[in-house]
Structure 1
Amino acid sequence: MHHHMHDHGAGSSPWETLLPAAAVILFAAAYLLLADRARHRNPVQGWGCRRTASFLTGCSLLAVALLPPLAPFAHGDFRGHMAQHMLIGMYAPLALVLGAPVTLLLRTLPTARARALTGVLHSRPARALAHPVTALVLSTGTLAVLYFTPLYNATMNQPVLHWLMHAHFLLSGCLFVWVIAGPDPAPARPGVPTRLVVLGIAVAAHATISQLIYGGFLIDIHAPIGQVQGGAEIMYYGGDIAELLLAAALVATWRPARNRQHGADRPLPSGVAGTVAG
């Protein structure tokens, strides 16, 4: 059921370009402002250039995904949609989360607000949300809902659903990276072996979904067969590369001494937030 061309609508409003561009610029500017504040508060420790470069790389990937020429192409071609999905849901989240924005907030917020943020990280809802299985279901499991039901076709015809889909890709992708390999504190983060198992399940699920899309099994995507198969290939190979990068980040950010402490990286009290490496 993927042989019909979708009527995506050729005319796009200038706001569809201006608003994402403004949002990405504000996102990057806010991070740079906080990084500068962190450097002024603690000139000796400062804030790592690698963290800043990583976050700005994530912002740049978001800009590539949401602005021309990719955005209009993604609106009318399933291959473009899948390339956009890879950037928004996998590559940009990896770079953004490795920028350690929560640690930066803890360093720059007033003490009372930093304690409040730490309290949120310790809360029961945060623990449930930060569970690896929750992150896996929200990031990878929802792909089956998107492509095996009429939802994808609906998002292509309804601008609000289209932007909600982008928001879900970005937020669920950031959640998954944070749980698996984020340098920021997380509630009850399991040990590295558990996170590697969850990442392995994500790799297998991603590969299975892309293969089903390529073969035309179970899917409900209204697009020419060539586009669907091309999109599936982008998903298969692009997902593999992103997940290998995530595995490398997990190994690179692993601190064995901390990992042995009950197998978890715990949220830091605001009083010691400044001791986190930049």
Structure 2
Amino acid sequence: MTGHAPGYGLPLLVVLIGLGYEWQCLRVAGWSAWRGAAFQTGAAVLIVGLVLPVHDFAGHALQHLLVAMVAPLALVLGAPVTLLLRTLPVRTARRLTRLLRSHPARALAHPVAALLLTTGGLVALYLTPLYARMLTEPALHQLVTIHFILSGCLFAWVVAGADPAPHRPSVLARLVLLGVAIAAHATLSQLLYAGAYVQVPATAADRQAGATLMYYGGDVAELLLAFAVVQSRAASRRVARRPHRPVLLAR
């Protein structure tokens, strides 16, 4: 199996975003230190996942776990959109709000769309020749990595994000949505372990090690996401009680 030397373009971008977030925190009086720590933890986990050398399927599974499941949850708990809206000029903040309330943004942020982008991406990666092509095409590998980072952040934001989001259903409905994602993830992990229907060019031992990591590591990440779901409303209210410009997105 061909591995890729880690590139440093994306990690550098994450570092710059983390510095930008920290600078914005200093501009907002009373911004939650907990939220700041959550975002920076997510950025650190994302950087580790991006620079992790991947030479086998187990390494790929660890990278996916870090960049697509663990890091996104911590990042969205940092409420970066709310922070940005509080620090932008009023006119710019209103434009950003209109963009987030636009029909394309609302369609993308629909819970079903977020679910399809995350689970559908995994199905496409492992049940088609996409994974094998990714091993020999660095540009494709970068695109796939970016997709999973963004789709992971989208799903975490829709399900448990601290920032307001359109179409956000009740806590019970979000837990059901998360349950569907857990079932899909577990099923795919089992298919990988058995070597059934998947197109992953790896030894049986390597494939099973990666599948085991995805199964149990994914369970831990999803339990953390479920905990964040039941805590999200109280946390959002605590953030909302601090002085800030109104956020016009519907919850």
Asked if Structure 1 and Structure 2 have the same fold, meaning a TM-score greater than 0.5 normalized by the shorter chain, the answer is: yes
In structure 2, the residue corresponding to 1:272 is in which secondary structure? coil
Structure 1 CA distance for aligned equivalents of residues 2 and 174 of structure 2: 41
Return the match for 1:8 from 3, 12, 26: 3
Give 1:255 deviation, angstroms. Answer: 4.3
Identical pairs, percent: 52
1:66 aligns with 2:50: yes
User: Could you say which residue in structure 1 is the equivalent of 2:61?
Assistant: 82
In structure 1, the residue corresponding to 2:163 is in which secondary structure? coil
Return the match for 1:272 from 242, 246, 250: 246
1:107 aligns with 2:107: no
In structure 1, the residue corresponding to 2:164 is in which secondary structure? coil
State whether residues 126 and 200 of structure 2, in contact with CA within 8 Å, keep that contact through their aligned partners in structure 1.
Answer: yes
Structure 1 CA distance for aligned equivalents of residues 7 and 116 of structure 2: 31
User: Could you say which residue in structure 2 is the equivalent of 1:186?
Assistant: 165
Amino acid at match of 2:168: R
User: Could you say which residue in structure 2 is the equivalent of 1:30?
Assistant: 20
User: Structure 2 matches for 1:92-241, cutoff 5 A?
Assistant: 92-241=71-220
Give RMSD over aligned pairs: 1.9
Give the gaps of 5 or more residues in structure 1: 1-5, 40-45, 259-269
Structure 2 CA distance for partners of 1:33 and 1:252, relative to 1, 3 Å: same
State whether residues 86 and 245 of structure 2, in contact with CA within 8 Å, keep that contact through their aligned partners in structure 1.
Answer: no
Q: Deviations over 1:9-32 (max 9, x none)?
A: 6xx4xxx44424422221110100
Amino acid at match of 1:163: Q
Structure 2 CA distance for partners of 1:94 and 1:208, relative to 1, 3 Å: same
Structure 2 CA distance for partners of 1:235 and 1:126, relative to 1, 3 Å: same
Give 1:61 deviation, angstroms. Answer: 0.3
Amino acid at match of 1:123: S
Structure 1 CA distance for aligned equivalents of residues 43 and 18 of structure 2: 6
Q: Deviations over 1:68-121 (max 9, x none)?
A: xxx22x2x2100000000000000000000000000011000001111111112
Larger Rg belongs to: 1
Give the gaps of 5 or more residues in structure 2: 238-243
Return the match for 2:38 from 54, 79, 95: 54
Q: Segments of 4+ in structure 1 off by > 4 A?
A: 255-258
Return the match for 1:243 from 197, 222, 225: 222
Give 1:142 deviation, angstroms. Answer: 1.5
Give 1:188 deviation, angstroms. Answer: 2.4
The normalised TM-score by structure 1 is: 0.83
Structure 2 CA distance for aligned equivalents of residues 195 and 224 of structure 1: 37
State whether residues 111 and 159 of structure 2, in contact with CA within 8 Å, keep that contact through their aligned partners in structure 1.
Answer: yes
Structure 2 CA distance for aligned equivalents of residues 246 and 256 of structure 1: 14
Amino acid at match of 2:46: L
| Equivalent residue pairs, number | 242
Amino acid at match of 2:3: H
Structure 2 CA distance for aligned equivalents of residues 230 and 142 of structure 1: 21
The normalised TM-score by structure 2 is: 0.92
In structure 2, the residue corresponding to 1:222 is in which secondary structure? coil
In structure 2, the residue corresponding to 1:187 is in which secondary structure? coil
In structure 1, the residue corresponding to 2:28 is in which secondary structure? helix
